[in-house]
Structure 1
């Protein structure tokens, strides 16, 4: 029963026929207000004094027609739906009247379709009105966006064919110009240092084609010639009817200086400026791998400055430090550019010789020792000598780790110490213990072992292991990682736009490399897919996630985990068993496990996916669709109310926002709200990307702007209003991505 009074204008010269639709509508529960007209004057008068929900018109009247009624509605720019009700109509007339704008044609002697057709057109009319409201809001947002760009502290410019057409004050300040007029005759490229102009030009071309890089770090030139380090983000936009490129610049000079300083400090000894033990060991590990793969000649020299400790103790550290600096300077003068000199310990120096065999290393070591023995070093206002013991070693392919090479060199140096010790001998470095595989689930969260400085292992498998079969055995590196726990989980927070404090993370996977570095999924997932090992990786990820959930539950933390399941694993019995056993045996709340699937792959396998979703829901899990595109049709085909999250790629959102499809995105967001589906915008890399998605009302955001994927789940989710994301504070926020 409809409570609203339906206003219907009937165009018919027969009072009896005009009553037919009225009776049908009232019988269906509508309250109807009608007026009958039968000519142009009558219809004009009726339209003047009343706003009608619907027009019902006979096709042909004595003084009027449905086509004339449609023309009148168009002239008055009214969007009122018109349905033709007639006794008979030829195919030609049907085509003509529908082409003119009639919404439907109903026969008077068969009015069963009348009420459904009217109900449909009323709903469509309401949708059109909502769309018009949305368009007005978008227009208002465009004005707001323009104001936001003008007032933002980020430097923003708009260029067309490489020339400036607009820039905000922050941009003028960054580059040292007084007004936009000064820039309008200057190509944007002229503000970029010559060494970086090619990649900047390439980025502009990509942006014009809609292919965007996340960001670009460059050197720029200010009006006074000073150079600054900047980060540039590109986005194609429409401005004043023209295709333009929006470029957002961030001055990263201070950050770059800090990064360079931090890199120096992590690689260098603070006193001598030489490479430190950690960096030397890392490079020695790379050299060992190069010997194994390419058969290169690599050697090392070890110096034990055994008298230095006594000098420090008797003459003071000022004298000892001065002497050490002069020794390192002397050694540098005798080494070529390819040699790496490092401070391995307090009284130990090492030299990596990447292109010398053992004989050449022995010769060089003798020359260096002779130079040190003959040198008269002034320290503490007097000549000093510092006895040293020297050992050498050649890096060979049969070495299991860098320990062997260092130990060989240390042992050779021992015999050169005088019998009466003038300083405490430096002990040979002890091999670091092998990286142990973490226990299975006594402690449910997997603790990543530290990367020991000296635990750089060889590439070759032990001789006792049999090689993988040439075909059908899977990728050997992935096989080894699966067998030796060679994967790691990292987590990226999913942050509420309304300041909710619930903890939510996406689970991402990385593979450990030969030197314990983390390898991104883009380098091993395609191989796993080709070799059929992707299901095993999915099962590994799911098992470790369930263990992490158990640990969090024991700590009293309700953390939700989004786990991506590949198309190969959907419906796979092994994966289903992992989830079922984890949920049933650990006592965790399965509602906190969100199974994430790619929307395009779901659309291609509806039946298989539907069965999988049903099973996951029976276990209590939630479902998320990722990379959501034309999602409406997919949702309609899946089990009712099965999807709880929709995730949209931030780059796709940005492209839609600048195209004619922005209304489609708004419609999808409205639909999600009606279905109580929560929405997540992903790949939010900076404040500009956040401002792009802001108007659409996403529930959550995710991306490097908030936090990069990390093994530690320590992101501080908003706890009060001060940390809530707001439109006035877009810059507040401190497997395979």
Structure 2
């Protein structure tokens, strides 16, 4: 939904068509007056694009009206030129961006970004409302629960519900608030309780402890305490649930154990495994504890079931479960996840570390002869593995990745590890430029070109300018204008610069070893200009390659040198100390170009191309 502040109907329609041609199902409205805008703001809109001038209503008034009505509408101001002052002023006034009139591709990219930001803001607000409602429901459940529940932070009570207070004989929650939990434990068990708390960390998930509690009247009772991570008033804490034990403790424990088991194999069932997987995902994000999930599929399960029958297939499943128990260590949790699949969750290991164990399992299973009521049966396994780390947003995504790996092995009897680079490759095939840049860095898919620089005086030195090209998944070259800006915005410019420097040094070292006196001009971005670690890194690279330092000339843009003059001056001094040289590119584009030369010692000046056209 698009608001357009533009006097010309034709221009407004052109902007509307521009979005439609870019794949947006646009519903547009042209603003003709302040009253018209106020009426339109009664509905929901996503973007407002304002011409740099309008006789109907000034863009600033339109922006203020949107702000006054507190509408979340991204405001994009079109400008007469590419003046940074006008851009800054527009941003200060509250516009999300300013785009020069006529730069349609840039306008679409800015709009795409703002629509994504708008979607994130709306999703966040919806999540905050849902969280608030969930917290209200949780509080009501806590107050109405028959279980004794408390929240403890650093060993102190911060909340206790009525059953918890009654259990320990306290009439008022204020008496309990701030009380150390150790005071509610009987003296014989206090030492054991302290040891438990010392070793327990909330990010480790749930844990249980049997001990004796003591009431305000000094009466003791046996209690089973369950500890789990939680939050109270936005602060991390531990939830404690206490259940007074009865004479049927062993029976209760048995029932609890059965509720989490698969009856055929004795392994964990699907529901319990998903709970463990969610807890592992939380630990991966909050505590950085890595883990791996293996999805183990029984090959040709339907044919085996038809051949062995229901009773026979159950025997096979039980034997496979025993094999899994013997194969995996105590830090692994094994479950029967589906009729034809098991899952294994292994803590503190990466998929690569788990690989040898899984390959051994595949080999053993292939060679094993299963005795099914006197008959011999054989089967094989296909395994997919995915890792949990600090980037894991949803446990279900990890399980899906492992399952997808299995689907990619139709022949069976094989293992595949999920490679995060596969996700980048998929995004790159959809035209995601940032993903293509990241993939190129990871797989060395950039290409270097060398443009000769000819001396008009007939000097014998060979000079080349190093140019960078990106190759997309279709094998086509992507122009620098299309990916360098995206790389800068994504924080990848420094990595690209170092990739270019390192590969240029390697190629130049090999070329000069044949007796050539070649030198390279290598471009640096503004990000590298501000990077204090660049010079030490370059020193090590030149020393390792034994390349003469004067064989490379680092080139920075004049506009970057003006914007970061102090850093540019330090870089020039550092390069000269290394006996490298520095060039100033696109010279002559600033208001006072010669002023830069007063502050920096420059070896080469490259005149901007506009002066020779």
State TM-score, norm by structure 1.
Answer: 0.38
Instruction: Answer 1 or 2: higher relative contact order, Cα 8 Å, separation at least 6.
Output: 1
Where is the helix percentage greater, Structure 1 or Structure 2? 2
Q: Which has the larger radius of gyration?
A: 1
